[in-house]
C-alpha cells in the first residue's frame, strides 16, 4: 500500500467516524452511536444475568464433581500398588479441584456483582428522584 493511499484511507475513515468515535466499547444494537449518552439499566436484565451466573455455578458444582470420588480412589489404589501413575492421577485430581473452585468462585463473584449493581442502581434512582427540586421536575414534564 502506497503512502498516499494510506493517507486517503485515514482521511475517509476520519470523515466517516469523527462524530461517533467510540473507545473500548461495542457498537449499540442496530449500529450507530449511543445517541444522548444516558446510562440505561434494565433491572430485569441484570437479574436474569445474575441468576444465570448463579445457576451456572450450581450446575457446574454438581456436574464437575461426578468423577472426583472415583478418581481419588483410583489414584490411591494405583499409588498403593507402586505405580507412578497414582501420584500423577492425584496431582490431576488436585488440579481439577482447584480449577473448579476457581471457576465456581468466579461465577459467584459475577452473580454477586449483578446483585450489587441492581441494589446500587435502585439507590441511585431514589437519590436522583429525591434530590431534584419539584420545580425542576415540572420543567422536564412541560
The per-residue pLDDT of the chain, averaged, comes to: 81
pLDDT over threshold 80, residue 28:
no
Is residue 76 very low, low, confident or very high in pLDDT (cuts 50, 70, 90)? very high
| Res. 95: pLDDT tops 90 | yes
Over the chain, what HEC string results? CCHHHHHHHHHHHHHHHCCCCCCCCCCCCCCCCCCCCCCCCCHHHHHHHHHHHHHHHHHHHHHCCCCHHHHHHHHHHHHHCCCHHHHHHHHHHHHHHHHHHHHHHHHHHHHHHHHHHHHHHHHHHHHHHHHCCHHHHHHHHC
Check: pTM over 0.85? Answer yes or no: no
pLDDT of residue 17: 61
- pLDDT of amino acid 7: 79
Share of the chain above pLDDT 90, in %: 39
Whether the predicted pLDDT of 1 surpasses 70:
no
Amino acid at each position: 500500500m502506497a503512502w498516499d493511499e494510506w493517507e486517503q484511507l485515514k482521511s475517509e475513515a476520519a470523515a466517516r467516524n469523527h462524530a461517533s468515535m467510540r473507545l473500548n466499547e461495542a457498537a449499540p444494537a442496530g449500529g450507530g452511536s449511543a445517541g444522548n449518552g444516558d446510562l440505561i439499566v434494565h433491572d430485569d436484565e441484570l437479574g436474569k444475568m445474575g441468576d444465570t451466573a448463579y445457576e451456572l455455578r450450581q450446575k457446574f458444582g454438581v456436574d464437575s464433581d461426578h468423577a472426583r470420588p472415583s478418581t481419588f480412589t483410583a489414584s490411591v489404589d494405583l499409588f498403593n500398588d507402586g505405580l507412578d501413575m497414582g501420584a500423577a492421577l492425584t496431582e490431576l485430581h488436585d488440579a481439577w479441584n482447584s480449577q473448579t473452585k476457581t471457576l465456581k468462585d468466579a461465577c459467584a463473584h459475577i452473580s454477586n456483582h449483578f446483585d450489587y449493581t441492581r441494589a446500587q442502581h435502585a439507590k441511585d434512582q431514589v437519590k436522583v428522584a429525591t434530590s431534584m427540586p419539584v420545580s425542576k421536575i415540572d420543567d422536564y414534564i412541560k
